[in-house]
């Protein structure tokens, strides 16, 4: 969405003109969940003066009770009015950064942490790190109580249209809603799996793009519910069909343009692009914990369902982790295909940027491109081509993260410590759960 330079006075005027009655102050916790504090418009002065407090100890991974006071600093450029909430007056939204009582950025705030990591571009003269996300989601029917079922809303397939694609009306309404909020939607279509959809929007700088992803999730879920459907960004909700990814198209810019593009370079890619690529490959196993952060993420990262399993790259082959789309010039970019929509976008972009900058800083060289189907290669052939596997569970991914100081530094000690502990507990709970599959396999046999 185009950023607007709004002043406090501009927002006060819009609130008056549009009859805005409530202000929703949004932020994202370490697990990627959108949180919000809603206040009546009578509190507007307090909000705009960065005086609005909340209890940080009530948010997972933030702070202990004895240090709970946190302040919400709204980013005025994120102002928008939600079009669907008008029964009791309109609701205005501001995305906030979190600050401590001493007026310093809170190190457990994912958005603030990404701003910190972005400063690392300065030493190279880069002006922006851009992201074009491709989030996928499923639409399920809801039962009479308004709870989601596992019944898909259609039997459509890739690029199908009505009447097979019954989600088309819902998806069209989502796109219209996004456009009314200022999103530039580039594509919207049915995905490979029944009930699965993808909406791609124009790239933006990292902070704005992450804000857009969080707003997008909110819009999708809200509009789906109006259609009697439940939208889920769970990576693999159903066995035997493709899971949902969120491919991340990344590019770096300086004052002269896209630094990944070089008319005279191999594949018209610059030395910087290859170094960034090498950094992404080097740290792939470690950042998988952040890009694929839940137990369910690893049900998607298996051979046979178009999700990447191997750490490799290619110009056109779709089985490796990183693909180089064919567009060049300003559109030159690297596409990381492993990320799923359960990921916290702010943490994801922090680790990916730091991985790429590490490649540039140390002038790393990537292994050769792999232009054949990796899924049909033998283990020996993969080893020879320097292709290794992504972690197979969140447990293994966290173990890889613990060994990678560069990725730990990208998260900062507060976020890393809390993320690591939360994932350890999640894995322990999963390991102790007896599944239906186990009962089906073993109950009678043994």
So which residues are the catalytic ones? 55, 134, 136, 191, 198, 247, 318, 335, 337
The beta-strand segments (E) located in 233-286 are: 246-254, 257-258
Q: In whole angstroms, what is the distance from residue 158 CA to residue 62 CA?
A: 41
Selection from 239, 149, 157, 150 nearest residue 196 by Cα? 157
Q: What Cα–Cα distance (Å) separates residue 281 from each residue in 118, 226, 266, 277, 398?
A: 20, 42, 18, 6, 17
Contact (CB, 8 A) for 119 and 130: no
Strand ranges in 100-245 using DSSP code E only, listed in sequence order:
128-142, 148-152, 185-190, 196-201, 204-205, 229-232
Degrees (nearest 5) of the Cα angle 244, 247, 253?
A: 160
Q: Phi, psi (5° rounding) for residue 386?
A: 60, 40
3-state secondary structure of 198: strand
Rg value, the chain, Cα:
22
Q: Are 357 and 124 in contact (CB under 8 A)?
A: yes
């Amino acid at each position: 969405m185009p950023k607007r330079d709004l002043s406090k006075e501009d927002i006060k005027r819009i609130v008056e003109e549009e009859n805005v009655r409530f202000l929703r102050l949004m932020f994202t916790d370490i697990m990627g969940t959108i949180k919000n504090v809603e206040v009546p418009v009578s509190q507007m002065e307090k909000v705009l003066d960065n005086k609005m407090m909340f209890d940080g100890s009530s948010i997972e991974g933030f702070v202990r009770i004895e240090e709970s006071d946190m302040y919400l600093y709204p980013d005025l450029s994120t102002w928008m009015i939600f079009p669907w909430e008008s029964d009791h007056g309109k609701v205005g939204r501001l995305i906030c950064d979190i600050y401590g009582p001493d007026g310093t950025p809170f190190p457990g705030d994912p958005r603030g942490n990404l701003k910190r990591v972005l400063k690392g571009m300065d030493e190279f003269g880069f002006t922006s790190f851009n992201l074009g996300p491709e989030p996928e989601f499923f639409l399920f029917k809801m039962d009479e109580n308004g709870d989601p079922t596992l019944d898909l809303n259609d039997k459509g397939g890739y690029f199908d249209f009505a009447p097979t694609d019954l989600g088309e009306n819902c998806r069209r309404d989502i796109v219209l809603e996004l456009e009314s909020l200022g999103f530039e939607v580039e594509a919207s279509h049915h995905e490979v799996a029944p009930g699965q959809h993808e909406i791609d929007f124009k790239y933006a700088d990292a902070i704005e793009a992450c804000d857009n992803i969080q707003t997008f999730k909110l819009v999708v879920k809200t509009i789906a519910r109006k259609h009697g459907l439940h939208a889920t960004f769970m990576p693999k909700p159903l066995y035997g069909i493709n899971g949902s990814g969120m491919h991340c198209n990344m590019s770096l810019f300086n004052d002269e343009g896209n630094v990944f593009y070089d008319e005279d370079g191999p594949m018209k890619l610059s030395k910087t692009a290859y170094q960034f690529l090498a950094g992404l490959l080097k740290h792939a196993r470690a950042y998988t914990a952040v890009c694929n952060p839940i137990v369910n993420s690893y049900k998607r990262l298996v051979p046979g369902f178009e999700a990447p399993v191997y750490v490799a790259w290619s110009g056109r082959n779709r089985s490796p982790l990183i693909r180089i789309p064919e567009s060049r010039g300003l559109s030159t970019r690297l596409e990381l295909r492993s990320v799923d929509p359960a990921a916290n976008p702010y943490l994801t972009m922090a680790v990916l940027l730091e991985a790429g900058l590490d490649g540039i800083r140390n002038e790393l060289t990537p292994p050769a491109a792999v232009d054949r189907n990796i899924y049909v290669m033998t283990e020996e052939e993969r080893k020879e081509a320097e292709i290794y596997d992504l972690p197979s569970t969140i447990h293994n991914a966290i173990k890889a993260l613990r060994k990678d100081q560069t990725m730990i530094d990208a998260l900062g000690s507060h976020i890393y410590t809390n993320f690591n502990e939360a994932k350890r507990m999640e894995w322990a709970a999963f390991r102790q759960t007896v599944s239906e599959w186990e009962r089906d396999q073993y109950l009678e046999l043994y």
